[in-house]
Amino acid sequence: MVVSSQKSQIVRILCLISFLILGAGRAWGLFHIVRNNSPACSIVTPENPSAQEELAAEELNYFIEKFSGEKLPESPDSEPLPTGNVILIGTPDSNRYIGELLNNGLLLGGKQFSAEEFIVKVVNEAERDILAIASGQGKGVIYGVYAFAEKMIESITELAPVDLDFHVNPVDSLFVETLNMRSAPFYPIRCALSQESLQWMSRHRVNVSGAEGVWSGTGINDGLGTAFKYVNDWQFNDMQDETSARRLTRIADLRARLMELTKRGIDSCLFMYVMGEPTKAMMDSHPELLEEEVLYRFARNGYSYRPISWTKPEARELIRELVKSIVRTYSPWLSGFHLRSWGGETRAPGGKRRETTGSALGSVFRHNRGGAGSQP
């Protein structure tokens, strides 16, 4: 009985010691963001931030305000560090304070950032806590902010979120445990094959949008044969089905979307079937550039259409010029083309779809590379 009592007492003492250690560790290992409805730190951004770093700072304060009702003050890295704890955002080249932490061996331990890699780390320096959200490129900084937002959700709810579309009741005090994260998206290519909202793609770490432009799935208005609508170029005037005013609106809207995608670190690809049904204007004005009809029950007339002839040098040259004009119109924001060749949308005369598609792809990519540096 005495032995049993002694064992019980020892167990109670050990439990108490463990509780005290864990409790103390938790108290000492917190980074406070908002305390009692007041900002407990500030954000320091690059003096000349990239578009992606600007977005990262906007998103950080968006989530902090969403979770606490408070926004943090911001200042550029050209100014002295504010008093108290700070959150640094940027790359070692853009934010001098992140560069200093890296040079002092406090961030990476000598190893440089890989593609899209980011770090979220708390460093104690000069009686203050500094939380660095850093990467070698702006895209990685955005991912670091989203990882930090997920940690805030986890701190509030004690649940591990699978994404940022998560309901959180605002709290009076917002904090996270001391972090030392180094991560990157697992898959190098994360492509959306339907046209999604910019915010949804960014917050789900999509890095390629492969459905820009028109994609109806018919081949009638979403193929190379109708891609003249993406440019307002005089050399294609007699091949246009849309008015100049309609095209100018389309071009302005698409440019704005591509610019926003670039700001969010998302590459953009203009979707086209190779090659789809030509425009009505082209069929009327340039029948010499077309092949004999092919059967396709979803054609405009419900029966067949005449595809552009890849066997005719004039037709190939026309498509080359069209591709160069598209690249000039949307440079530098357009990353490439998503070309699709299958089914009735890409019928070719004589059943030679493989050969004609090969010619088409060769024409497009050779001249896309050559024209990518051209200005609109």
**All structural domains of the chain:** 29-183 (3.30.379.10), 191-371 (no CATH)
What is the mean pLDDT of the segment spanning 268-278?
Answer: 91
200-237 pLDDT, tens per residue? 999 999 999 999 999 988 889 999 999 999 999 999 99
Percent of the chain, pLDDT > 70?
82
Round to whole Å and give the CA distance between 236 and 323.
12
93-108 pLDDT, tens per residue? 999 999 999 998 888 8
280-292 pLDDT, tens per residue? 999 999 999 998 8
350-363 pLDDT, tens per residue? 555 556 566 656 65
- 141: burial class by Cβ within 10 Å (0-12, 13-18, 19+)? buried
- State the angle between helix axes of 51-68 and 244-263 in degrees (0 to 180), rounded to the nearest 10: 70
pLDDT for residue 375 is more than 90 = no
Q: What is the pTM of this model?
A: 0.83
Handedness of CA 278, 280, 286, 291 (dihedral sign): positive
For residue 228, which of 261, 276, 293 has the smallest C-alpha distance?
276
Question: What mean pLDDT, rounded, does the chain reach?
Answer: 86
pLDDT for residue 134 is more than 70 = yes
- What is the reported pLDDT for 374? 36
Question: Which residues, other chains included, contact 271 with Cβ-Cβ below 8 Å and sequence gap of 6+?
Answer: 210, 211, 212, 213, 214, 215, 222, 337, 338, 340
- What is the reported pLDDT for 230? 97
* Helix, strand, or coil (residue 74): strand
Say how many CA atoms lie within 13 Å of 347 toward its Cβ. Answer: 24
For the CA atoms of 160, 166, 167, 171, the dihedral, rounded to the nearest 10 degrees, stands at 50
For the CA atoms of 365, 368, 369, 370, the dihedral, rounded to the nearest 10 degrees, stands at 120
- What is the reported pLDDT for 108? 80
pLDDT for residue 190 is more than 90 = yes
C-alpha distance from residue 80 to each of 45, 97, 148, 338 (Å): 12, 10, 24, 47
- 275 vs 101: which has the higher pLDDT: 101
What is the mean pLDDT of the segment spanning 274-299?
Answer: 91
For residue 64, which of 97, 41, 30, 94 has the smallest C-alpha distance?
41
- 131: burial class by Cβ within 10 Å (0-12, 13-18, 19+)? buried
- Range in 23-37, 79-93, 170-184, 246-260 with the lowest mean pLDDT: 23-37
Structure tokens at 337: 């083309």
The percent helix, strand, coil of the chain (3-state, each to 5) is 45, 20, 35
